[in-house]
Structure 1
Amino acid sequence: MKEVWMILKEQIDNFHMIRKLALYNMKTEYSNHYLGMFWNILQPLLQVVIYYVVFGMGLRHGSTGLTYLLHLVSGLFPWLFISQSLNSGANAIYAQLGLVTKMKFPSSVLLSISFTNTFINLLYTTVIVVLMSLANGYRGYMHFFEFLYFIVAAFSIIFAINLLMSTLVILVRDTRLILQNILRMGFFLTPIFWEVSTASPILQKIASLNPFAYLVGIYRNAFIEGNEAIYGNIGDHLYFWSITLLLMFIGSHIHYRFKNRLVDYL
């Protein structure tokens, strides 16, 4: 547990640097684009249009309208945030390994910088979800505070996974390709465009074991459903946080074991 606390302390001590570098990365990323940071909104909206046509008007035989569109975006936007955070976070240390090895720079901070970049994108898309939800007559305003819990839960498990994956990507290059394929499968196994209550027993079981389905459920409960005080039961919460803490422990241990020798594996 000592390694976990040391990792968390690095994030707290370097909070201002994380914020500044995250904003700098976003500005430089779109500096040569005419639309600039508007791409943070345009890209997910284009994906919504595609999935709405395929899954709403196509596979669901005309399940159109604002209700289904809300169900789609409230699943797709958090999933894009999760998948982008994992993809970029897994490669964060490898992409900046020269900086880490030449300077006294805590490599774990790179994971928080990567997360902050994708989180800013999520804030843009969440504004869209809120406006659509209000237009649909949603009145569960108090559930908006559940989004704060979503942020804490999402950061915890994504950071824990990236601690592990960012090291393994350097040790075993195939790890990144494995992660990408797992995320592709995760898109279909997470209730983004389908509903758990109407799914087959197999999909319901998979969803119950999928920690990202838990995050999507929290996000939906905050902005479009609001049927429960907080999404899930005590068993769901214990399961999610048990997995998160286990991954955090394993990731911290592996990160500290190899962080000073990563350049040897290039």
Structure 2
Amino acid sequence: MNDAKTVLLEQFNNFGIIRRISKYEEKATYQSHYLGLVWQFLNPAIQIGIYYLVFGIGLYQGKEVRGVPYIVWMLIGIITWFFLNSSILGGSNSIYKQIGMVSKMKFPVSILPSVNMASNFVSYRAMMLLLLVTMFGFRVSPTIYWLQYFYYFFCMIAFLFAFGILNSTITILVRDYHIMLQSILRLLFYLSGAIMDFSRLAVFQGKHGWFIHLLELNPLYYIINGFRDSFLSDAWFWEKGTQTIFFWLITGILLIVGSHIHMKFRARFVDFI
């Protein structure tokens, strides 16, 4: 617990550094491109168009999902997924990628996963604006359920930070871990409900219903479906007691274990590389 407290305090005490480094990384990533930061919006927008053609028109044939057009339902999930995926993969490689800077400058390396998350927030913010425009265009009106967005956003940040501390440390110790994580996330893309409402597929009904309940314990599914519950006014988070308790249990374990391993090995990160 002391290690987790130390790591959390380092984030609050170095919030200004996190913002400055993240802004520098944003500019450095796209400085040689003609469109610059526009690619942070354009790249996911192109992917969304492809997924909509394949799943929205091909699989769902333009049908509504949960009472709204598929494009609205999909956007809520896939925008969240883009942020989760880029933050998990970027966070896991954040310390290894910046080890040269870490060895020369004096600041806690535990902030590097947070720096990556902050860098991704620019693209996320732009895509959320697209989502709002799309929802208003299809006459999805705001309700009191929308206030839950802030709760699920906090859940997303808490999970990404806890998972990022663990992943970034393991990646230093075992380089193959980052590649394995990429493969796992490709599978979770379909099992987290980002583009498919698998809970309503016929194959998972009846005697296979237990499999749906198992998938619902996935923290990524909890976050994605939580945003949908908020924007589509389906349910309050306290109505999903088992999933909520399990989510925070997993997040707490990841934070405690990740912080402990991080503090134990971070003095020797350069030696491992």
TM score, norm. by length of structure 1? 0.93
**How far did residue 103 of structure 1 move?**
2.6
SS in 1 for 2:109: coil
Asked if 1:244 corresponds to 2:246, the answer is no
Cα deviation, 1:208-229, whole Å, max 9, x if unaligned, reads: 1211000001221232x11223
Gaps of 5+ in 2: none
Cα drift, residue 246 of structure 1: 0.4
* 2:265 corresponds to 1:258: yes
1:4 corresponds to which letter in structure 2?
Answer: A
What residue is the counterpart of 1:17 in the other structure?
Answer: 17
Residue in structure 2 matched with residue 32 of structure 1 by the alignment: 32
Note if 1:217 corresponds to 2:219: no
Shift of 1:88: 0.5
What is the CA deviation profile of residues 50-85 of structure 1, one whole-angstrom value per residue up to 9, with x for unaligned ones? Answer: 111111222334548971011111111100110000
The residue type equivalent to 1:239 in the other structure is F
1:16-36, Cα deviation, whole Å (9 max, x unpaired): 111122122112222222222
SS at match of 1:194: coil
SS at match of 1:34: coil
Q: Could you tell me which of 100, 103, 126 is aligned with 2:102?
A: 100
Aligned residues: 265
User: Where has structure 1 moved over 4 Å in runs of 4 or more?
Assistant: none
**Partner residue of 1:162?**
164
RMSD: 1.8
- For residue 232 of structure 1, report the CA deviation from its aligned partner: 4.9
Which of 162, 176, 185 in structure 2 is aligned with 1:183? 185
SS at match of 2:223: helix
Give the match's secondary structure for 1:209: coil
Task: Name the CA distance, whole Å, in 2 between partners of 1:53 and 1:86.
Answer: 27
Distance 1:109 1:27 in 2: 19
Contact 1:70/1:133, CA 8 A, preserved across alignment: yes
Superposed displacement of residue 196, structure 1: 4.7
The worse-fitting range, judged by mean Cα deviation, of 189-198 and 172-181 is 189-198
Q: Distance in 2 between matches of 1:69 and 1:251?
A: 37
TM-score by length of 2: 0.91
- Return 187-196 or 77-86, whichever deviates more: 187-196
Between the two proteins, what is the percent identity of the paired residues? 33
SS in 1 for 2:196: coil
Matched residues in 2 for 1:74 and 1:171: separation? 35
Residue 146 (structure 1) shift = 2.1
1:115 to 114, 117, 120: 117
CA contact (8 A) 2:22 2:115 kept: yes
1:196/1:203 contact within 8 Å kept = no
Give the 3-state SS of the residue equivalent to 1:139 in structure 2: coil
Kept after mapping to 2: 8 A contact 1:77/1:122: yes
* CA distance in structure 2 between the partners assigned to 1:190 and 1:104 by the alignment: 39
Could you give the per-residue CA deviations for residues 86-116 of structure 1, whole angstroms, max 9, x where no partner exists?
1100000001112222332200111111011
CA contact under 8 A between 2:230 and 2:236: conserved in structure 1?
no
- In structure 2, the residue matched to 1:235 is 242
The residue number in structure 1 matching 2:54 is 54
Whole-angstrom CA distance in 2 between matches of 1:222 and 1:33: 37
Contact 1:85 1:158 in 2 (8 A): yes
**Contact 2:192–2:218 under 8 Å retained in 1:** yes
Q: Is the 8 A contact 1:150 1:219 kept in 2?
A: yes
- Relative to structure 2, which stretch is displaced further, 39-48 or 198-207? 198-207
Structure 1 unpaired stretches of 5+: none
